[in-house]
Structure 1
Amino acid sequence: MNILMTLCNSSANQEIITSFATPEAWRWLLQFCIIAIGLLAGNILRRKVPFLRKSLIPSALLGGALLLCLKLIPGMDNVVNKQSMEIITYHALGLGFVALALKNNKIESKSSTMTVIETGTLTASTYLIQAIVGLGATILLFYFGKVIFYASGLLLPMGYGQGPGQALNFGTIYTGQAKLQGIDFAGADFGLSIAAMGFIVGSVIGVIYLNILRKKGIITVQEMEERQTNTLDDYQSENDIPDSESIDKFSIQICLVLLVYFFVFLFVNSIQKMDLGDFGTNTLKPMLWGFNFLFGTLFGVIVKWIMNKFRKVKLMSREYANNYLLNRISGFCFDVMIVAGTAAISFKNLSGFIVPLIIVCVLGAIATFWYLRAASKHLYPTYQNEGFLSMFGMLTGTASNGMILLREIDPKFETPAANNLVLQTFPAIILGFPIMLILGYAPQSFKASLITLGVVTALFIIMAGFIFRKKIFKKKIKK
């Protein structure tokens, strides 16, 4: 309650707007307009330029790249506000995950429980191998030349594996930790650049890989019809609220998402006021705001569970969460996140980190490709190419990238690959949460980064051992 009073008081102390012609009345809205223009322009560019269409690069990334180019024009560098773009990226990530968590998922699974667990373990272990490669590279670069912050390589799994939102969150944390040690490091720009490179790596390498397989006759790339016919079931469920309600159905979805996100704010803010000791104060508290997506997922699931219970005991007669509209909200949030995250990159801040950025991104791409290729052959013997492409797209970009690549060879999602991608989220979050805590410890000192490198290596060996256990412990064939 105190925090609400503080927010209300701070709002009351602001100057009263006497004219809507003032910049303050338009600043935030104009930033959203710029994002919308970039997204539309990126979509037009992708549809009209054959090379870009074949590359499978997301329209949102192209839109962000166009805004980056706009910033390079003399006199236009202040049109795209860096701080606003970073804030929008941060909240778009959290709101997108809340919308996904509120969905009533009724998936007819083609995947066994063990396959789902193994896929979740594969996701978490890929974060680890990316962390090993990235951290190992930047530790060496720092030790031999101090060309970059020693812990910055840990932004590789955030940028490749998690996307722009988490790359920004951890990049901002790392900037603060580096500053305390007298090191100048543009963590947000470095992390967002890795995320942008991840989209390009996933799309371009994915297309090259598809073409190689097609030329060898291993696969046949299937065409997907441009127009998809949706039935009424795609738009509403059996007990959905009617369109004739006094409040619009879409408004209900927006209110539910914002309500859950408000709970996230209250929860994290309350923890900030607790006495958690040295570890909690120095490591845990600074990271909690960066876990807005995780807490959003948690509270979204809780709110969904409560609404389901209310329906069972007849306190609620309708199903208020609409899967179709929640999908549209999450899709919008993630598109905005990609555009804003890419547009927030500052070339000026990155000028001294270009070489380390290239080294980290190239090594990360090689390690991710090699590891996922080997694991997919082992875990998905009957659909290894579908499994590999979906996981590679997701773990260099987002789940949408994985689905885009998968659709090229499995347009009707006949293999379990698409199910694996959706259902692995929960085990991946459980296994990935401790990893994120470790990533918060690393930037505190050079020694802490060395310890972190040892810990993530040990965790990777354990998880990889679980994935390849059948191959490692297979029984010897009697002669």
Structure 2
Amino acid sequence: MTPGQIGFTLLYLAFFLLVGKWIRMRVKWLQHLFLPSSIIGGFLALLLGPEVLGRILENFTGENSFWVNGIMTEEVMEVWSALPGLMINIVFATLFLGATIPSLSKVWNYGGPQLAFGWTIGWGQYVIGILLTILVLTPFFDIPPMAGALIEVAFEGGHGTAAGMAGTFGDLGFEEAYDLAIGLATVGVLSGVIIGIILINWAVRKKKTRVVKDVEDFSELRKKGVMEFQNREPAANMTVRPESIEPLSLHFAMVGLAILVGWIVLQGLIGLESVTWGAVTDSEFMTYIPLFPLAMIGGIIIQVIFNKFDQTEILDRRMVNRIQGFSLDILILAAIGTVSLDVIGEYLVPFLLMAGAGIAWNVLGFIILAPRIIPSYWFERGIGDFGQSMGITATGLLLMRVADPDGKSPAFEGFGYKQLVYEPFLGGGLVTALSVPLIFQFGPIPFLIVSLVMCLLGALVGLFYFGKN
């Protein structure tokens, strides 16, 4: 593959992102769903690629025709298949770069209720998934017990985490899990947005919201995904002079450094295992851990160092957010555009069972637990955690912006504090990355017991400590 061919695949990405945005601007029902352009573009790429259009045209042109890949090329599909696994490292490396790390007491007081609720839902996804696998998927469909982790990997972790786990799935002999996880992540995002909007409308009618009184108050520009003129603000702050280094270049370099630190930590863990417990047990557990959770640790290390020694506040959180958002758009579009419909078709019934079980747990958990755990503004705060439990942090933020567009409640602050404790473990953190190797190594029962204990711990703390306040 030549550099020119690789560059051409990036032009395809730009094309589908623009077309996705154009469709969002023109189609009313997509505007009402607040669906991201990357998802729209990803579905369009899937339809026009080898999985749909290519198969239709193959019947007329033959299997050796150019059109078996639809309007794509083999090079495009090859590069796109690799992109999600690379982009997720950038997304996780940026989680804490440029962010102020508050005291533990402030995190506990502001983000504690949302942390307890999110912790319960996240670990509960493992409980539901493993029980479903043990009782139904393994005995009736001969699916490996590792499938018990897919609901949390896909729903809480999203497309990026699913893509980042592709190497782990392959190393453990369950390659199909990648396509199942990407499919589940897509279902999670779509159902999260759709159900979230339905819940917001329901809450407004039932007078359960304290901020928004009428969802029809949103402007036409907002529904199209365009910032209103009066609300426009700088996308980032210029913390360095461009004649010395372009601010975007500096922040991109810092993201790269965070990933490098994470890679060094991972190699250190692999080396430590090889000369300690690995030499005794003849195991290679650490080699199954993907890079992205360690890239997050690298970002935390870099930020702690900067907090201590940087007096000029050179890292700008808004600039980091732009890098993260760009990477996430590319990741989602490429992941959806390259998903294998063959695998989902082959495992259709197990796929639907996992999707249905995950959605049911999240919805019931929100309706039953959120108002009993979160003492004030329960809907505005809980809807963000619901969105994250269905389809990554971005979905949670989107739903919170709909329920509290002007930030009048403590939802955003509490959600941000909660992430400082939550993200290193669940939703793509260390527990998410370790879950599949742990189930493979020790079986599903031990991990089920740990998950059940953690789920109950979150529920009990939420109900009997925060819920009483």
Indicate if the aligned counterparts of 1:124 and 1:431 stay in contact, CA closer than 8 A. no
1:130 paired residue among 120, 125, 134:
125
Q: TM-score, normalised by structure 2?
A: 0.83
Indicate if the aligned counterparts of 2:293 and 2:433 stay in contact, CA closer than 8 A. no
Structure ID, larger Rg? 1
Indicate if the aligned counterparts of 1:93 and 1:293 stay in contact, CA closer than 8 A. yes
Q: Encode CA deviations 1:64-89: one digit per residue, 9 max, x unaligned.
A: 11111112112225626555334211
The separation in 1 between residues aligned to 2:281 and 2:391, in whole angstroms, is 31
Matches within 5 A, 1:391-410: 391-410=385-404
1:189 counterpart letter in structure 2: D
3-state secondary structure, aligned to 2:245: coil
Indicate if the aligned counterparts of 1:178 and 1:443 stay in contact, CA closer than 8 A. no
Structure 1 stretches of 5 or more lacking a match? Answer: 1-22, 180-184, 313-317
Aligned to 1:178: 173
The separation in 2 between residues aligned to 1:76 and 1:466, in whole angstroms, is 53
Aligned to 1:89: 84
Are 1:203 and 2:198 an aligned pair?
A: no
Aligned to 2:286: 285
Aligned to 2:241: 242
Q: Encode CA deviations 1:373-392: one digit per residue, 9 max, x unaligned.
A: 32320232331221222111
Indicate if the aligned counterparts of 2:137 and 2:143 stay in contact, CA closer than 8 A. yes
Matches within 5 A, 1:452-463: 452-463=447-458
Q: TM-score, normalised by structure 1?
A: 0.82
3-state secondary structure, aligned to 1:105: coil
1:141 counterpart letter in structure 2: V
CA 1:121 to 1:29, structure 2 compared with 1: closer, same or farther past 3 Å?
Answer: farther
Aligned to 1:59: 37
Matches within 5 A, 1:149-160: 149-160=144-155
1:251 paired residue among 249, 252, 274:
249
Indicate if the aligned counterparts of 1:117 and 1:424 stay in contact, CA closer than 8 A. yes
CA 1:357 to 1:43, structure 2 compared with 1: closer, same or farther past 3 Å?
Answer: same
1:213 counterpart letter in structure 2: A
1:133 counterpart letter in structure 2: I
Matches within 5 A, 1:367-446: 367-432=361-426, 433-434=430-431, 436-444=433-441
The separation in 1 between residues aligned to 2:449 and 2:180, in whole angstroms, is 24
How many residues are aligned here? 435
1:256 counterpart letter in structure 2: M
CA 1:95 to 1:171, structure 2 compared with 1: closer, same or farther past 3 Å?
Answer: closer
Are 1:73 and 2:70 an aligned pair?
A: no
Structure 2 stretches of 5 or more lacking a match? Answer: 55-67
Deviation at 1:35, TM superposition (A): 2.1
Deviation at 1:346, TM superposition (A): 0.7
Deviation at 1:287, TM superposition (A): 3.3
Are 1:46 and 2:24 an aligned pair?
A: yes
Q: Relative to structure 2, which stretch is displaced further, 332-341 or 213-222?
A: 213-222
Aligned to 1:353: 347
Q: Relative to structure 2, which stretch is displaced further, 354-363 or 165-174?
A: 165-174
3-state secondary structure, aligned to 1:148: coil
The separation in 2 between residues aligned to 1:216 and 1:468, in whole angstroms, is 23
1:76 counterpart letter in structure 2: N
3-state secondary structure, aligned to 1:26: helix
CA RMSD in angstroms comes to 3.0
1:366 counterpart letter in structure 2: A
Matches within 5 A, 1:217-232: 217-219=207-209, 220=213, 221=215, 222-223=217-218, 226-229=227-230
Indicate if the aligned counterparts of 2:117 and 2:370 stay in contact, CA closer than 8 A. no
Are 1:25 and 2:19 an aligned pair?
A: no
The separation in 1 between residues aligned to 2:235 and 2:140, in whole angstroms, is 57
Deviation at 1:396, TM superposition (A): 0.8
The separation in 1 between residues aligned to 2:394 and 2:403, in whole angstroms, is 15
The separation in 2 between residues aligned to 1:142 and 1:104, in whole angstroms, is 42
3-state secondary structure, aligned to 1:411: coil
Indicate if the aligned counterparts of 1:121 and 1:427 stay in contact, CA closer than 8 A. no
3-state secondary structure, aligned to 2:391: coil
Aligned to 1:341: 335
Aligned to 1:12: none
